[in-house]
Amino acid sequence: MKKEIVSGRKFIKPSFAYLIEKKRDGGEFTDEEIRFIVDSVYDEEMPDFQLAALIMAIYFQGMSAQETATLAEEVMLSGDVVDLSKIAKPKIDKYSTGGVGDKTSIVLAPLAAACGVVSPSLKGLEEDFVISDFDKLSAIKGFNSKLSLKEIVKQLDDIGCVICAQNEQITPVDTRLYEMRKKTSTIPSIPLITGSVLSKKLAEGAEGLVVDVKWGNGSYIKDLEQAKQLARSIIRVSRSMNRRCVALVTDMNQPLGDCVGTALEIQEAIQLLKGQGPEDLKELVLKLGMEIVRLAGVAGSTLSAKQTVQKVLKNGKAFEVFKQMIKAQGGDTACIDNPDLFPKAKNIRKLPAPKRGYVHTINAGMIARGVQILASNKKGGYDPAVGISEIRKVGTQVKQGEPLMMIHYNDEALLEPALEYLRSAYRLAPKRPATPQLVVERVA
Amino acid sequence: MKKEIVSGRKFIKPSFAYLIEKKRDGGEFTDEEIRFIVDSVYDEEMPDFQLAALIMAIYFQGMSAQETATLAEEVMLSGDVVDLSKIAKPKIDKYSTGGVGDKTSIVLAPLAAACGVVSPSLKGLEEDFVISDFDKLSAIKGFNSKLSLKEIVKQLDDIGCVICAQNEQITPVDTRLYEMRKKTSTIPSIPLITGSVLSKKLAEGAEGLVVDVKWGNGSYIKDLEQAKQLARSIIRVSRSMNRRCVALVTDMNQPLGDCVGTALEIQEAIQLLKGQGPEDLKELVLKLGMEIVRLAGVAGSTLSAKQTVQKVLKNGKAFEVFKQMIKAQGGDTACIDNPDLFPKAKNIRKLPAPKRGYVHTINAGMIARGVQILASNKKGGYDPAVGISEIRKVGTQVKQGEPLMMIHYNDEALLEPALEYLRSAYRLAPKRPATPQLVVERVA
């Protein structure tokens, strides 16, 4: 990183061991120290093992809003920053911590664009068990998720949205930090998640950000309190970076929508873009969409935000922009109009309820693992045709033998290991459970 | 490590990320998991950065006595274990966490041998600021601190004591862990210190261990409570390993004795071996010596332990064994009888008291740094002649201009930077401070 530290006094480079010790003992890094750390990661001057120790110390001791903001800023500057200044429209992005069956990102990018809000959705690294948006979009023949920065800017200018892989030129330090965190079990560090999200999203040229922080057995954040803390951390830090931001804390204790799986989820996303689909996803799309248009200044009140979002879903504009985006990224749009063209699994069978009762809990993480097994093929690839559909959600009453879900599979050998997870994911109880609240908290 | 895990059930190798996560969340490792970790460090299968993250997680979450005992046992077995079973005498070692001006180890090895207790003093890696026993003994011409395991056993059989560098064949995993801890600021982890000490000392063939845990500004353990915890941890873990162990927690808030420096300290050690020397060191040598002979079973009561130790100091036997040891390790004993033959600095000057008053505190860490600067030469070596002597200890009354210490130096250019530390180490006050207690606690 060729940056000179401009400061009245001279900054004397500290040793890495000193920096680790400082954080180990709960100290707060100065802006210069954060800058030095990011530079040293970028230049590969900090050995991996010292970086690992530093990250673990941060995991235990945390970072202040000021430290995290400086981290986000410096990591953002470690690579290219997409220049969208020539596009006059507001640029608002959406970020989710990731959940099972979540198709909202695929829906919200074209929806926002249809409302006149530019949405640069560059997807980074995800938790292992989540099917990424690319995996889902790869069910569409020809779809290209690898765009150059120039292509990204052009498409945003033309259509207003893009869903593509994070470019290597963007926040390279975040990529290194994330890889290290994954291998050292330090993913759930609130300041590090905050820094990572903000650095990436701001590097993509977003002026504001709507964040969906998921908590529950289908999220890597298992604890509601921790999810709230993360939401507040992102808001606090984005504020000290002078960026607009809203965060919703949402329930991820059962899969979102009726299906999990690549081609299946894309079809559900298409339904949502037409204003159809399962209630929980419709609610989430509406609420997140409203936040986007309000943050963008496209709608001033809650009511007008609702009307704006509902309008582009009803009049087909959101769906139209989606098709344009797919086409612009080389995808074959035939399947969008005719879902029969999507890859289909050879076999479909039900998972029968072992007894009568109400669906009391569903472990979304286990569902994800089950689907992952179904989709794994020997070549290490991902089978887009398989998955589960018609998921009976929490609170549904079932008779013994009635389906809890339909399982779409190709490889008989994978069925039994997958079933182990899918079966264990369900708990039935004689009493109807309380209806879970989808949006638990809004932080702004 | 070619060891088979013998167990009723099969041990499935966990991923390193899983082990890090388990400790991160405060979990307790099974014996098999500890064994797997030690094996993986030995085989260099665990990447450095995962080891670093694991160690930092241990720093924050600690380890149980059972975990620590298994760690010590496994690390001990990672290399050769010295077989002293053919030597009929009791084998008791002494270990100190390290302090400024501490000469007791050099005194206690021959003292123990003179009392009929075999003392295998293999010195490992030390904190940077402490002058190691080898550095001190290197002031004796020809002294060889690198012995083979065979030579060590022979010398222990012949003379009863040895002071030499830790052999590379002994606890290689500890060496790797220590190096990693040093670079990742995780030295002060109580279970890791405990595991390190016990693994090394037991690998040297010691049956029992007397530990001197130092606390204060001249120790890496700054906090008394932490020192007590370490003492208790060592005792608890050694007990669960069925080894005899006693620990003293001692004050290290000012240098021990009257001098700091290589040749100067050896001369003070020789005085102590003759039953002379400064009071604080005489007290510490006596108390630690008494613990050694009691632990060895050579003396049954406190009184007889005291008599045993005092006898070998008075009748010259401890001194005689010291000379034998130096001779056996190739050292020129002429200087031992005639201290004028020790290397001497060209210049000696006083550090004058800036005002009248009582010596209120002395920062021993700063004293050590000052001496380190005096002793550093351009070749990266250590000048044995330099150091400080006639240190005025806490509680001494001084007039303005009276010496706080005498500084022995060779290089004028190093004097001023050294003086900065030496001067700042002293705080004078108008009132006499309370006399510090040398031995704060005894844990057995």
Per-residue pLDDT of chain B (444 residues; tens, 9 = 90+): 444 444 456 788 899 999 999 999 999 999 999 999 999 999 999 999 999 999 999 999 999 999 999 999 999 999 999 899 899 999 999 999 889 999 999 999 999 999 999 998 877 655 556 677 877 888 899 999 888 999 999 999 999 999 988 778 889 999 999 999 999 999 989 999 999 999 998 898 899 999 999 999 999 899 999 999 999 999 999 988 889 999 999 999 999 999 999 999 999 999 999 999 999 999 999 999 999 999 999 999 999 999 999 999 999 999 999 999 999 999 999 999 998 899 999 999 999 999 999 999 999 999 999 999 999 876 667 789 999 999 999 999 999 999 999 999 999 999 999 999 999 999 999 999 998 999 999 999
Which chain B residues contact residue A45 at CB under 8 A?
A: none
The predicted pLDDT at position B125 comes to: 58
Q: What is the mean pLDDT of residues A132-137?
A: 80
Question: How far does the CA of residue A213 sit from the closest CA of chain B (Å)?
Answer: 22
Which chain A residues contact residue B57 at CB under 8 A?
A: 56, 185
- Amino acid found at B49: F
The predicted pLDDT at position B126 comes to: 56
B184 and A49 within 8 Å at the Cβ level: the answer is yes
Q: Which residues of A touch B (CB under 8 A)?
A: 16-18, 20-21, 24, 47-53, 55-57, 59-60, 180, 182-186
**8 A C-beta contact, residue A351 and residue A310:** no
Integer Cα distance of B140 and B133 in angstroms: 12
pTM, entire model:
0.84
B49 and A184 within 8 Å at the Cβ level: the answer is yes
Q: Is the pLDDT of residue A349 over 60?
A: yes
| Closest Cβ–Cβ partner in A16, A21, A52 for B50 | A52
A17 and B180 within 8 Å at the Cβ level: the answer is no
Kindly give, in sequence order, each residue whose CB lies less than 8 Å from that of residue A9, ignoring residues fewer than 6 positions away: none
| Closest Cβ–Cβ partner in B48, B55, B57 for A48 | B48
Which chain A residues contact residue B192 at CB under 8 A?
A: none
- Amino acid found at B45: E
A60 and B55 within 8 Å at the Cβ level: the answer is no
Q: Is the pLDDT of residue A436 over 70?
A: yes
- B58, closest residue in chain A (CA to CA): A56
| Closest Cβ–Cβ partner in A17, A24, A48 for B49 | A48
| Closest Cβ–Cβ partner in B57, B59, B183 for A17 | B183
Of B42, B182, B16, the C-alpha closest to A47 is B182
A185 and B24 within 8 Å at the Cβ level: the answer is yes
Kindly give, in sequence order, each residue whose CB lies less than 8 Å from that of residue B301, ignoring residues fewer than 6 positions away: none
ipTM: 0.82
Question: How far does the CA of residue A14 sit from the closest CA of chain B (Å)?
Answer: 13
A60 and B60 within 8 Å at the Cβ level: the answer is yes
Which chain A residues contact residue B182 at CB under 8 A?
A: 17
Chain A interface test: which of B23, B185, B220, B221 (most A C-beta within 10 Å) = B185
| Closest Cβ–Cβ partner in B53, B182, B183 for A56 | B53
